[in-house]
Homo-oligomer: A and B are copies of this chain.
Amino acid sequence: VATDTRVSTEPDQAVDQANELSMIVFSEDLDKVLAAFIIANGAAVMDKPVTMFFTFWGLNVLRKNEPVPVKKGLVEKMFGRMMPRGPEKLKLSKMNMGGMGTRMMKRVMAQKNVYSLPQLMQSARDAGVRLVACTMSMDVMGITKEELIDGVEFGGVASFLDAADRSRTTLFI
């Protein structure tokens, strides 16, 4: 009987272990990043462990607002300047209209009492959502750890795949 019990509970555990939610945040578009954090907060409310893996343009979501003095090569400096620094600088993927559309969307969200992106990020972190910065993208784009907000974890593709293996749902955003 002891053996039977062990065997029959194993699959149950397997199902439990694969109950998390993970996301690759590849995009730096405000609308897509908002969607990612709304999902993350919703899942956290349901006590689902959430891992967000920020790669390529998505890395910019984790950058500090203020420029950080770091020694860089010419190309890395250029990339750093051209890419948005943190959540306040992101733009809509459509209807940006030179920034006017993005400003209007932010104002409407505030009027309707929807959290702003910085608020959604804070709330996700308070709820234990893990934010992981892709180290390979950081290397390629010349972004250093000091330039990213505190409390971020660092990992490569294996770290993403581990999270995906524990997840029922994995999204590429």
Contacts and interface: CB of A to CB of B under 8 A. Distances in A.
A152 interface: no
Interface string A9-27: 1111011001101001010
Q: Which of A12, A14, A45, A172 has the largest number of chain B CB atoms within 10 A?
A: A172
State the oligomeric state as a number of copies.
3
Contact of A39 (B42, B56, B161): B161
Given A5-B7, A12-B14, A140-B105, A168 B157 contact: no
Interface string A129-166: 00000001001101000000000000011101100110
A42 B158 contact: yes
Interface in A82-131: 82-83, 93-95, 104-105, 107-109, 112, 114
B55 A35 contact: yes
A132 to B, nearest CB: 14
Interface of A: 1, 4-5, 7-12, 14-15, 18-19, 21, 24, 26, 28, 31-32, 35, 38-39, 41-43, 45-46, 48, 55-57, 75, 79, 82-83, 93-95, 104-105, 107-109, 112, 114, 136, 139-140, 142, 156-158, 160-161, 164-165, 167-173
